[in-house]
Every structure is written in C-alpha cells, then in structure tokens.
Amino acid sequence: MNDSNKYLLDDEAMQRFIVEGYVKLQSDLPREYHEHNWEELEPLDETGPRGHNNLLPCVPELRNMLEEPKVVGALTSILGPDYYLHFHRHDHVNYPDGAQALHKDGDGHSHYAVDGLRRYHPTRYVMLLYYPQDTPVEAGPTGIVPRSQYTTRREVDHLKHEADARRAEIYQGITKQMDASAVRGTERFKRYEETELELNEKYPDLIASMKKASVPWEEAKIPLDGNAGTISIVHFDTVHGRYCANVSGRQRHMVKFLFARKEEPTGPTWNHASPEWHGPEDDCQTPIWKYIWSWHLGANDTNKSQQSIDDLTENLDGPDDKKAISAAYELGSTSSGLDLLFERFFSDDTDVRSIAGYGIVRAGERALPALLSRLDDANPELQVRIIDVIGDMGLTAASAIEPTRSLTASADTGVRRVAYEALGLITQQQTKLDAGVVDAFTKGLSDEDAIVVRNATFAISRLGAKASTDEIVDRLNGNLDHWHHHVRGWTVEALQRLDDPRAVQLALRYLTSARWDPATKSGDRVLTSKVMRQ
C-alpha cells in the first residue's frame, strides 16, 4: 500500500474541508529540518529571482515536505490523484508590521473571474501554507475567514477596486523619480508605507467605508498559528491575510505553494464510506456545501429546495452575499427557479448576474438548452459569461463541446480565453477527442494572446494522451521559450502528461538546460543544520 493512502481524509474530514475551506497538518519531519529551511529562506528576496517562483531551486529540501505521505494523502483526497504542483510559489516574509487587509488571492494563477466576481466554487485549486518556524499569534501568522471560499464580497470588493486604483496612482507618483533599488527588497516596504499614508490622507471617506464594510470579515477571521512544520491546505478562494503584527523579534516565513486539480472528479478520492451528508444543516450555505460534496463524489446533486420562490427571490436580490448565493443554488434545483435565474443572468446587473450563474451551474444539463440558444447571437461579453458557466459545469456539459469549440476561433480575445479553458474541462470524459477539437487546441498553442495560449496548454495538460499529436508536441516545444511564464510553466506540465516519449525527453532537456543553482561559484552549499549534515 502506498504510504500516502494511510493519510487519505475520511468523510468527516472531507466534509469539514468543504465547509470550513481548510485542513491543518503537522509535518513528521524533524525540527532540525524546519530550522534548516528557515536558515535557507532567510537570505532570499521575497519577490526577486532568488526566491519567489524559484523557491525550490533555492531551497530544494522543501520537496521533502511536499512529498510527505500525509501531505500527499490530503492533497489526493481534495484534488484527486496526479494533481499538479503549480509553478507559482511564494515565501511570504512577515516583518514587524501590522495586520494585512483581508483578501482573496488574485485570480491570475487560477480562473479569471468573469465580471471580476464569479470565481469557480468546485475545488480545482488549493494553497498549501507551510511554517518552517514556530508561529504563535505573536509571530503574525496567516489569518483566514472560515467558510468564505464560496462567498463574494461585493461591497468590500467594489470599494477595494476603487482604493486599488487610487493606490496605484499614488505609488506611481512616489516612485516615478526613484531608481529600481527603491522598490526592491525591504525598501519596497517603505514605499508601501508611504503609499498607504498618502492614501489615508487623500481619501479618508473611502478608507472609512472600507473599514466599515470589512468589520464582519475581520471579526470572523482566525489565526492559522502552529509549531514549526505546521501545514495548512486552503481552498484557493478563501478570504485571508496576515492576522496581526509580528512582535516575536524574529523573522516569520510562510511558504505558499499552489496545487491544481488535473481531472474533474468521477468518484471519491478519499477514504470514503458513505455518500450521506453529515455536515451542518442549519446554515444558509448548506445547499452550496451539499452541491460541492456531490461534485467531489462525481454525482448529481439531487437535493431540492424547500423554500418558496418568493423568499428565495428576495434573498437572491438582497445585499447579503451568502444568502444570495445560497438562494441561487436552491433556485437552480427547480424549473421555475431556473427561469428566474436566467432572467437575472441575462441582465445588465453585474452583481446579481454573477451570483445567478452559480445556480445555473447547479442546474447542470437542464440549463444547457437555454444557454446554447443564446450563444450564437450573443455579443462577445455575453458569450464569455455563457461559456464561463458551461465550463464550470464540467463533465455534465459534454453536449456543449461543439459550440464551445467553435468559439475558440472567435475574433474576440476574451471569448477565446474562456472557450479554451471550458473545452479542457468538458471534454475530459471523451474516450477520443474529435478531430476538430484537436485542431482547435493545436491552433490555440500559436495564438497571439498569451492567456489564450496558457489556457489551451493547461487544457492539453489536463487531457493528456488524448490530446497528443506530433504537431502539438512540436508547438509545445516551441513554447518552452515563450515570453509569458504561465505558458512556459504549463508547457512543461503538458509535455510530461502526453504519454509520449519524445515529449517527455523535450521536457527533460528543457529542465536540464534551465536548471538554476543559487549557490556560490563552487556549487557547494554551506550546511548549517545538523539534520542536513548527517
């Protein structure tokens, strides 16, 4: 038996992750191992080439933590087997400073949110957060808001977008006459502080409104504190931020890795015993949790709403994000409710239509005829929203493969982006890809837009051998030198997953030539920790 199988989550733990949005583990590696990692991380530059996405070349021992059976077991339970280690990683260094504003991570490394609001709810991406040192509350641990991963924050986000625009203007003004050294390393924190001071001085009403809207979220946050070797696996869209100031007198490192799901689930991948839902029943988000549970099981959600259409409509149109999204899920379980969702989804109100989309995804195949009937005559903006919802349906939207494929040839860049992403999700159960689909993916690898290329490459990596042709291998090989790091990152993954010996050799040749060693000229490393010298 694979050792990681002993650490698969059970039903209770899996349902707890679905509800709360995180699971905490404690590494079994010795304390000296974590001390060594702390020492190796300490001299790196959080955002520079010696660090950030190059963390593993700089501190290769981190792989031992990522490959621990209990970590593999938890990730397999949540993301399924053969998940991806995403090419983005980051060591968040906590200087003695204050709490960080709560936020959801930028969606550039996962799924671009349509209308800036509608993120995917199913567990397709997670963050792994690792502490190499003891991190009590005094050290400023990461804080999260449990149960926030499926919730939009419309009021907060609208204010935040305005503040971000003002902040960018101020930052550019401050740094305009400065040289590059003024925004590198620890110097950048001074620029951030100067920017925040000016923002508060110029826009006090905006800051006050943001603080007021953020109060409920701040009150709900908890610290992910723990000893050295604490590992937290968190749904990518969980609201989080630095919990408080680091007053420990010692640098705190929090190393973040991203992981992505390879395949849509067709059955449970954890230590499963019963399909019954044993989680909370009296929370307004319960319909969401039950849908996500069914999705992880690879089953249809057969739960029906017991509330009146009038009550659900009031919640859908109301200001409470949790109640509105939950109402959308419930409305998606009934025919009359689905009609109401379509009315909102095809409206000009971005807030309501983004939420209505969740209920349409919940409806699955029942919603496809109405969506597809509007697709041909829709403008590009509406086509993006329709295909985004179809892609989120995943395997249940297989009947939409051809219209989705046709939009990969759209003249609109945004449409092509979402069409390729959706096509990679809804074609996964096809035993053999249609020649037109393969041709579309081939063309996507040479698109003029980098995100289109990225999405086509990611789709190919998900489909594996089914998407393998000599021409695709050739184009992937050419993209190993692409200017966009997302394209390069997914290209390496795709080449390895095509089940093609030539593709694997091309990936290995690239990785060998691109190998980067941060050590000094001799190539030797100074081993300061006892465990590393043994």
DSSP of 425-467: HHTTT-SS--HHHHHHHHHHTT-SSHHHHHHHHHHHHHHGGGG
Q: Which superfamily does 1-145+222-279 belong to?
A: q2cbj1_9rhob like domain (2.60.120.620)
Where along the chain do its domains lie? Answer: 1-145+222-279, 151-220
Q: In sequence order, which residues have a C-beta less than 8 Å from that of residue 280 and are 6 or more positions away?
A: 19, 286, 289
Residues of the chain above pLDDT 70, percent: 97
Is the pLDDT at 98 greater than 60? The verdict is: yes
For residue 1, what pLDDT band results from cuts at 50, 70 and 90? very low
CA–CA dist 80, 264 (Å, integer): 8
Strand partners, 144: 222, 240
Is the pLDDT at 286 greater than 90? The verdict is: yes
For residue 114, what pLDDT band results from cuts at 50, 70 and 90? very high
Region 237-260: mean pLDDT is: 94
Tens of pLDDT, residues 401-415: 999 999 999 999 999
Tens of pLDDT, residues 43-69: 988 777 788 888 999 999 999 999 999
pLDDT the model gives residue 528: 59
CB burial of 337-349 (b: ≥16 within 10 Å; e: otherwise) equals: bbebbbebbbeee
Q: Any idea of the CA torsion for 513, 514, 520, 522, to the nearest 10 degrees?
A: -10
For residue 142, what pLDDT band results from cuts at 50, 70 and 90? very high
Other CB atoms within a 10 A radius of the CB of residue 38 amount to 20
